[in-house]
Amino acid sequence: MNNYNYPPKYPNPQGPPPSSNMVWAILTTILCCLPFGIVAIVYASKVDGYWYAGNYEAAYDASNKARNWSIAAAATSFGITLIYLACMLIWGISIGSLEALSNLS
């Protein structure tokens, strides 16, 4: 059995591990867009494992992807809400104008 002392592939960076963004991933899953939120949770759950395995680049990458998917979930939910409100406004205006036209006759 050979005991070679190879230097680590990535040197141990100074500072704490990157944020996993798990809180944002869970909140966007519950409150916003379920499919995008699940993807965010998957990436957020990988951050600590990569970090403590010494794969620092993958930890930062997973953290960024979790953040980006959380933002995408929130933006999608916001966009769908805006479209819904616009449709309800248009529908309300059209119903109101139809009632006004029916009262004229």
> Residue 57: which residues within 8 A CB-CB, separation 6 or more?
10
- Supply the DSSP symbol for 40: H
Q: Is 0.85 topped by the overall pTM?
A: no
Q: For the chain, first and last CA: distance in Å?
A: 99
Q: How many Å apart are CA 76 and CA 69, to the nearest integer?
A: 10
Place of tokens 């819904």: 84
Tens digit of each residue's pLDDT (9 = 90 or more) over 8-63: 555 667 778 999 999 999 999 999 999 999 999 999 999 999 999 989 999 999 99
Instruction: Tell me the CB-side half-sphere exposure of residue 56, using CA atoms within 13 A.
Output: 10
Confidence of residue 5 (pLDDT cuts 50, 70, 90): low
Cβ(49)–Cβ(82) below 8 Å: no
The pair of structure tokens assigned to 44 is 């957020």
Cβ(30)–Cβ(75) below 8 Å: no
Tens digit of each residue's pLDDT (9 = 90 or more) over 53-104: 989 999 999 999 999 999 999 999 999 999 999 999 999 888 877 776 677 6
